[in-house]
Amino acid sequence: MIKFEVQHRCATSAARTGRLETPHGIIETPAFMPVGTYGSVKGLRGEDLEAIGTQVILSNAYHLWERPGLEVIREVGGLHSFMGWRRPILTDSGGYQVMSLADRRKIDDDGVTFQSPLDGEHRRLTPETVIEIQATLGVDLAMVLDECVASPADREVAARAVERSQRWAERSRPLAENLAGGLLGIVQGSVYPELRSDHARRLVELDFDAYAIGGLAVGESKEQTWEAVEAAIPELPDDRLRYVMGMGYPADLVEAVARGVDLFDCVIPTRHARNGVAFTPEGRITIRHARYAKDPRPLDVDCGCPACARYSRAYLRHLKLRGEMLGGVLMTLHNLWHYLDTMGRIRHAIASGSLAELRAEFARSGAPNGRD
């Protein structure tokens, strides 16, 4: 139900541009997905996301299953109808919650039992129910259930998580035909390159529609992140989409693309925006700082986002200090515009043969998270 085609390749790296066809539209890659965990990118309407060029958003199957619940979403015609979003959606399966909610869950070889923080009820996820949930949601890109472990993790712990994730992937793959779109296998292995490459090879034998690399940006060093990516990528099919989950800062995206990655998601641009931090080509701006109290300039004079087109740093600082919702909305629009524009620049650089120059530009800007 999905089709991926490579369009351009970089002569100096593993970067490529591509075109992913999904039931709800085409995604030009490399691409970044804003995070809408509960079916909403905080503060923004679907129209706002479309206006800034969002191609696809990420929601979380576990959290939507918990609330509002599948019955509600089913009755209104699926997640796209429920959200009023006409473009592609990818849903995470709940594998990250295996790690983040470790104090409220019990895991075994059959699945995971979570104790809900909402009502104390116990809810059971298995590889099969995760596929059923995402089939009901009607998403374009669905993820298998996996076991994500935090770093640092002992090799033995990481190896056990790989084995469990592989068995769950084997149980999930035959159910892909029930989905509206494609199913992604997830490579695990923590910071151990040999585990990453071996797991990638075993997943490829199951012939998933696309592949993700999970369990990164969870406490490991940047060097370990790149080692894990570089171990997995060569084992994945060239004709399938490659997605690194939970990454990252703008410079991280450039570097990951150079290593052959096609798709990203991260809460950084939206969470930083709500905390009053903006990303610009010159570095970060922490809008609460007194230096911006009378600053008439936009966040970025060359930015085309709605915030920069109309509002000053002084006004945005005022909104932040007063706790006005509009401040978070405008900062979110700006940060997502910056990320999506960065992806557009990356795609252009690959197609025009200038990615090396763009990588050098980001390296000079103070990677990974800029300066203020």
Dist CA 4 CA 66 (whole Å): 32
Question: Residue 367: what pLDDT?
Answer: 47
Query: Cα–Cα distance between 162 and 297 in angstroms, integer?
Result: 50
Structure tokens at 7: 């369009």
Q: What is the CATH number of the domain that holds 146?
A: 3.20.20.105
Question: What is the largest distance, in Å, between two alpha-carbon atoms of the chain?
Answer: 61
**What 3-state class would DSSP assign to 189?**
coil
Residue whose tokens read 């524009």: 341
Residues 168 and 247 in one domain: yes
163 and 55: one domain?
yes
Residue 369 covered by a domain: no
Let me know whether 167 and 35 are in one domain: yes
Distances (CA, A) of 306 to 70, 105, 331, 338: 35, 42, 10, 12
Place of tokens 């706002």: 48
Q: How far is CA 260 from CA 100, 219, 248, 256, in A?
A: 28, 22, 15, 7
Domain co-membership, 180 together with 45: yes
Please check whether residue 96 lies inside any domain of the structure: yes
Same domain, 209 and 326: no
Alpha-carbon distance 40 to 59, whole Å?
Answer: 8
Q: Which one-letter amino acid corresponds to residue 178?
A: N
- Is 295 part of a structural domain of the chain? yes
The reply to whether 198 and 236 lie within a common domain is yes
Q: Tell me the C-alpha distance between 35 and 38, whole Å.
A: 9
Q: Enter the tokens of residue 164.
A: 């469990």
What CA–CA distance (Å, rounded) separates 197 from 4? 22
157: in domain: yes
Cβ atoms of residues 19 and 30 within 8 Å: no
Residue 91, burial from CB neighbour count under 10 angstroms (0-12, 13-18, 19+) = buried
What is the domain range of residue 27?
3-266
Same domain, 34 and 130: yes
Compute the distance between CA of residue 207 and CA of residue 181 in angstroms, rounded to an integer: 15
Given 207, 242, 266, the domain boundary residue is: 266
**10-residue block means of pLDDT along the chain (372 residues)?**
97 98 98 98 98 98 95 98 98 87 92 88 95 98 96 95 98 98 98 98 98 95 97 98 96 97 98 98 96 98 97 98 98 98 98 97 69 54
Residue type, 121: E
- C-alpha neighbours within 13 Å on the C-beta side of residue 168: 33
Residues 327 and 211 in one domain: no
User: What integer pLDDT is reported at residue 116 of this predicted model?
Assistant: 85
Is 120 inside any structural domain? yes
Query: pTM (2 decimals)?
Result: 0.97
Q: At 243, phi and psi to the nearest 5?
A: -125, 125
Same-domain check for residues 197 and 322: no
Of the candidates 199, 181, 179, the residue with the CA atom closest to the CA atom of residue 189: 199
184 beta partners:
143, 210
The domain boundary, picked from 222, 248, 266, lies at 266
Residue 130 lies in a domain: yes
Same domain, 165 and 110: yes
Both structure tokens of 179: 């989905």
Q: Residue 370 falls within a domain, yes or no?
A: no
- Domain boundary (266, 283, 301) is at 266
Calpha distance 241→19 (Å, rounded): 9
Q: Is residue 59 part of a domain?
A: yes
Same-domain pairing of 20 and 53 = yes
Q: What are the residue numbers of the active site? A: 92, 265
In this structure, are 277 and 251 located in the same domain? no
Going by C-alpha positions, the residue among 232, 233, 265 that lies closest to residue 248 is 265
Total number of domains in the chain: 2
Nearest CA-CA partner of 281 in 266, 300, 298? 300
Q: Pairing mode, if any, of strands 3-9 and 16-22?
A: antiparallel
| Main-chain dihedrals φ then ψ at residue 110, nearest 5 degrees | -90, -30
Q: Residue 328: what pLDDT? A: 98
Question: Tell me, what's the pLDDT at 119?
Answer: 83
Contact 87, 121 (CB under 8 A): no
Query: Looking at residue 150, what DSSP letter applies?
Result: P
